[in-house]
Amino acid sequence: MAKKFQNYIDGRWIDSKSGRTFENRNPANWDEVIGTFPLSTKEDVNEAVKAAKKAFDSWRLVPAPKRGDVMRKVGDILTARKEEIARQMTREMGKVVLETRGDVQEGIDTAYYASSEGRRLFGHTVPSELPNKFNMAIRVPIGVAAIITPWNFPMAIPTWKIFPALLCGNTVVFKAASDTPATATTLVEILLEAGVPPGVINIVHGGGTEVGIAMVEHPDVDLVSFTGSTSVGKKISEIASKSLKRVSLELGGKNAQIVMDDANLDLALEGVLWGAFGTTGQRCTATSRLIVHEKVYDKFVPMVAGSAKKLRLGDGLKDNTDVGPCINEKQRETVDEYVKIGVREGAKLLTGGKAASGDGLSKGWFYELTILGDVTRTMRVAREEIFGPVLSVIKVKTLEEAIDVCNDTMYGLSSSVYTQNINNAYQAIRDIKAGITYINSPTIGAEAHMPFGGVKETGNGHREGGWTVYDFFTEWKTVYVDYSGKLQRAQIDNVEK
């Protein structure tokens, strides 16, 4: 019998008021049920927000270094349980266990970074224009944070948001993706074990329409942090703007790896295989386009296609598996439709192109690793996010053309350039319109202590990770202390004649 999971609201594990549930299944073996979860409603969200609002009054007064101590304990627990969590995550969302270990490690790194930020929530002191007066600006927590996360990094991305939110003194209502609720529940359990008080962290399971939108609309939610599709992000932004909520959106990408004629092709090959097919291409930073200089196109593209054919699909818990399944049937159908669109538009199918079959694959949502050659910049497969194991290859004549093609999408998240010419590298850094640019490494591989996010329709300007995320989860408060003992009117009569 499948394990039954619950919401966590105001210090209690409870069922949804709806009484309804949904199943969470293994995408590599759809017969395997991970557990049943509450299919929550607006009523459950109301209770969670009420609890978070009540808990904010006390949590915000806990000294930030003490909140940091809690984050350090979270990191210790994650470290001790790393393998267990990684294997659970692979069962839940399919990517190979080598990658899920990295997902947990990202959470560990984020926890330890957050713990140190408890002693580094720096403000500013500046001179006053008046005598006997002291000026400073300090950071203060904002209130109740709604955290809405995707399924592809079910530990890392929630930690990017929840740890800074809590460290800064906010309280949290958390909605994880319905495809990965078990890993999210584990994270909440660890936060509680580490000492997060009741009401400070709450988790409400369910669909985006009922739970996610209810969180965004709620008048007592003060800020929203969302990672997901651009279309949903725009809807969240529209709803939140009605009450002027602070919103952080980390959205889609159509990331390109540029390979110049002077590139180390063996290194570029390793990069594109990892960038395009790691996590089955189900990353917002995945290498979806390969832009190749015409002088090496005919040599390099067959290298990529040949190597892709050798990568092994299968259960991510098995040692010989290189690539796991798509997350669910609907996503596999989306991937297949895009491949068909690409071929209809004139792309050449170099390898893959259909649902995978064979030993151990029939019960999962596997799709062959697919490479489309002779793609032009106007094709849909060169412009729209596919979120699957599909790589579109485009030929260019110059670095300038490569950068122009790279920039020619609505997105601007990650980018990569392989070249041994330092001038080319710095020109690309300057001219590529993306939040992240890698030189001689793939489009994936963000580090926890660096800003993460993009430009254009990839987001709304905020950043996850590093020191920058703490700006989102705090409000600046300006403080003036006048110890002159008399009324001093700044900017009015303080200039001597």
Show which residues are catalytic. 250, 284
What torsion do the CA atoms of 347, 352, 357, 363 make, to the nearest 10 degrees? -80
Q: Render the burial of 93-125: b for 16+ CB within 10 Å, e for the rest.
A: bbbbbebbbbbbbbbbbbbbbbbebbeebeeee
Say which residue the tokens 């002159």 belong to: 484
Q: Which residues are 24's β-sheet partners?
A: 35
Amino acid, res. 133? K
CA-closest candidate to residue 413, choices 363, 362, 456: 456
Give the number of residues written for the chain: 497
Distance CA(104)–CA(110), nearest Å, equals: 10
Amino acid, res. 116? S
CA-closest candidate to residue 286, choices 434, 177, 404, 386: 386
Distance CA(464)–CA(449), nearest Å, equals: 10
Measured CA angle at 464 (ends 123, 285), to 5 deg: 155
CA-closest candidate to residue 341, choices 304, 386, 308: 386
In sign, the C-alpha dihedral spanning 320, 315, 366, 447 is negative
CA-closest candidate to residue 62, choices 168, 143, 145, 163: 168
CA-closest candidate to residue 322, choices 91, 26, 99: 99
Which residues, 6 or more positions from 37, have their beta carbon under 8 angstroms from its beta carbon?
Answer: 5, 21, 22, 23, 24, 178, 181, 205, 206
| DSSP secondary structure of 369-392 | -EEEES--TTSGGGTS---SSEEE
Is residue 119 within 8 A of residue 68, CB to CB? The reply is yes
Q: What share of the chain is helix, strand, coil (3-state, %, to 5)?
A: 40, 25, 40
Q: What's the burial of 497, exposed, middle or buried (CB within 10 Å: 0-12/13-18/19+)?
A: exposed
Distance CA(166)–CA(64), nearest Å, equals: 9
Distance CA(166)–CA(163), nearest Å, equals: 5
Which residues, 6 or more positions from 21, have their beta carbon under 8 angstroms from its beta carbon?
Answer: 4, 36, 37, 38, 39
